């Protein structure tokens, strides 16, 4: 993962920028900020540049207030990318995944290195480490930093960032992609006085009352089950979100409630945003839901967790899904 050539390029670099995908999640924020704190110790000038601000549920992650985001600080974010000698592309496999920031990223002349776990990496970086079998980019970042200098990993900030990404991308160590190494990293952190409980509480037990009400409404009023197909839908329109004084951020994790139900193996969550509908798919078992979104909905992702989008009305999308995906559902199960 860390060749002599990469090491030389990093050592030559004075200014390193860490980027991740739009709509950053725990793994995106955790991987970029862990790298930020690590290379800060090596006296590099460092910045984390993300397409959008860190979501509220991740506000406890160390350094979230240091992030330069392209959405609200476009000029500064563009300057960071222009000036960087080395740019890490973490937790994404394609330049389009940084949304509006794509042009500035592609124009940047610094050496680019991808560290990512999504399928089918695009060819836009000088160095690519792509391991779709690994459950989180944070786990790959741990391996990378360990090869670089393990003695600088075990700070409270870096452990918190890496653990956040591991926890959020593995459903708290439950998905099939968790391997011995995932637990070994947790073990090493515990050997360095790491407090795991507070992170679980900050991430999962910090709900606003309105979010809980929205979840109740969504399940009670908006759930559609197709039990003979083992598939379920949840959906929310912008108006419904607004009426609960919630934003898309507040719906993080809703899709998983469908999967917690008897007989459901594929969960689809549709959420209206600006002028399109964003969809999130999750599955248990041998489903390849990334193929559904790449075939029909301009999306992609992992075998069991993928996303895509559709321009049109909610009703039309659901009809489209039922008409086009349902008849060939079995082809995605193998």
Residues paired with 272 in a beta bridge: 277
Q: Within positions 229 to 288, which residues make up the interface with ligand 5GP, using CB under 6 A?
A: 280
Task: Name which of 91 and 252 has its Cβ closer to Mn ion.
Answer: 91
Strands (E), 125-207: 127-130
The number of angstroms, rounded, from the C-alpha of 190 to the middle of its chain's C-alpha atoms is 25
Distance of closest approach, residue 278 Cβ to ligand 5GP, in angstroms: 7
Burial code (b: 16+ CB inside 10 Å, e: under 16) for 71-93 equals eeeeeebbebbeebbbbbbbbbb
Is residue 300 at the binding interface for ligand 5GP, with CB under 6 A as the rule? yes
Residue recorded with tokens 């507040």: 250
Distance of closest approach, residue 91 Cβ to Mn ion, in angstroms: 4
The single residue among 10, 27, 271, 297 that binds Mn ion, judged by CB under 5 A, is 27
Distance of closest approach, residue 136 Cβ to Mn ion, in angstroms: 5
Contact partner at residue 229 from ligand 5GP, Mn ion, none, CB < 5 to 8 Å by partner kind? none
Quick check: helix, strand or coil at residue 162? helix
The number of angstroms, rounded, from the C-alpha of 118 to the middle of its chain's C-alpha atoms is 10
Is residue 116 at the binding interface for Mn ion, with CB under 5 A as the rule? no
Contact partner at residue 169 from ligand 5GP, Mn ion, none, CB < 5 to 8 Å by partner kind? Mn ion
Is residue 63 at the binding interface for ligand 5GP, with CB under 6 A as the rule? no
Triad 176, 178, 184: Cα angle to 5°: 155
Contact partner at residue 325 from ligand 5GP, Mn ion, none, CB < 5 to 8 Å by partner kind? none
Task: Name which of 64 and 168 has its Cβ closer to ligand 5GP.
Answer: 168
Q: Within positions 112 to 131, which residues make up the interface with ligand 5GP, using CB under 6 A?
A: 118
Nearest to 77 by CA among 108, 113, 55, 31: 108
Give the residue nearest to Mn ion (CB).
27
Task: Name which of 27 and 250 has its Cβ closer to Mn ion.
Answer: 27
- Tokens matching residue 54: 């860190």
Q: Within positions 87 to 106, which residues make up the interface with Mn ion, using CB under 5 A?
A: 91
Triad 319, 325, 331: Cα angle to 5°: 165
Count Cβ atoms below 10 Å from residue 165 Cβ, excluding itself: 31
Is residue 301 at the binding interface for ligand 5GP, with CB under 6 A as the rule? yes
Triad 171, 52, 74: Cα angle to 5°: 160
Count of positions on this chain that bind ligand 5GP (CB under 6 A): 12
Nearest to 233 by CA among 276, 282, 274: 282
Contact partner at residue 306 from ligand 5GP, Mn ion, none, CB < 5 to 8 Å by partner kind? ligand 5GP
Nearest to 321 by CA among 222, 215, 231, 223: 231
Q: Is-contact 305 282, C-beta < 8 A?
A: yes
Is residue 143 at the binding interface for Mn ion, with CB under 5 A as the rule? no
Q: Is-contact 246 253, C-beta < 8 A?
A: no
Task: Name which of 92 and 310 has its Cβ closer to Mn ion.
Answer: 92
Task: Name which of 87 and 268 has its Cβ closer to ligand 5GP.
Answer: 268
* Residues in contact with ligand 5GP by the rule CB under 6 A: 21, 118, 280, 299-302, 305-309
List residues near Mn ion by CB under 5 A.
Answer: 27, 91, 137, 169
């Amino acid at each position: 993962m860390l060749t002599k050539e990469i090491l030389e390029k990093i050592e030559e670099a004075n200014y390193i920028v860490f980027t991740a995908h739009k709509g950053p999640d725990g793994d995106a924020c955790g991987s970029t900020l862990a790298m930020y704190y690590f290379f800060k110790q090596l006296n590099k000038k460092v910045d984390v540049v993300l397409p959008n601000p860190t979501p509220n549920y991740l506000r406890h992650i160390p350094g979230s207030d240091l992030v330069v985001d392209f959405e609200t600080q476009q000029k500064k974010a563009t300057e960071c990318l222009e000036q960087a000698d080395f740019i890490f592309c973490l937790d994404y496999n394609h330049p389009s995944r940084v949304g509006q920031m794509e042009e500035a990223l592609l124009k940047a002349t610094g050496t680019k290195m991808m560290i990512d776990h999504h399928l089918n990496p695009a060819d836009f970086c000088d160095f690519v480490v792509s391991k779709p079998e690994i459950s989180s980019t944070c786990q790959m970042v741990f391996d990378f930093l360990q090869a670089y200098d393990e003695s600088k990993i075990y700070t409270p900030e870096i452990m918190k960032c890496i653990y956040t990404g591991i926890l959020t991308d593995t459903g708290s160590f439950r998905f099939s992609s968790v391997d011995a190494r995932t637990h070994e990293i947790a073990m090493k952190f515990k050997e360095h006085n790491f407090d795991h409980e507070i992170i679980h509480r900050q991430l999962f037990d910090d709900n606003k009352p309105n979010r809980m009400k929205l979840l109740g409404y969504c399940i009670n009023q908006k759930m559609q089950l197709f039990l003979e197909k083992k598939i379920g839908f949840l959906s929310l329109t912008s108006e419904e979100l607004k009426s609960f004084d919630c934003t898309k951020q507040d719906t993080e994790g809703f899709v998983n409630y469908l999967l917690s139900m008897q007989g459901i193996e594929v969960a689809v969550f549709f959420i209206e945003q600006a002028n399109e509908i964003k969809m999130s798919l999750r599955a248990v078992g041998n489903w390849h839901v990334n193929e559904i979104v790449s075939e029909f909905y301009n999306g992609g992702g992992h075998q069991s967790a993928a996303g895509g989008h559709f321009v049109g009305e909610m009703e039309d999308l659901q009809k489209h899904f039922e008409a086009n995906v349902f008849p060939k559902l079995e082809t995605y199960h193998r």
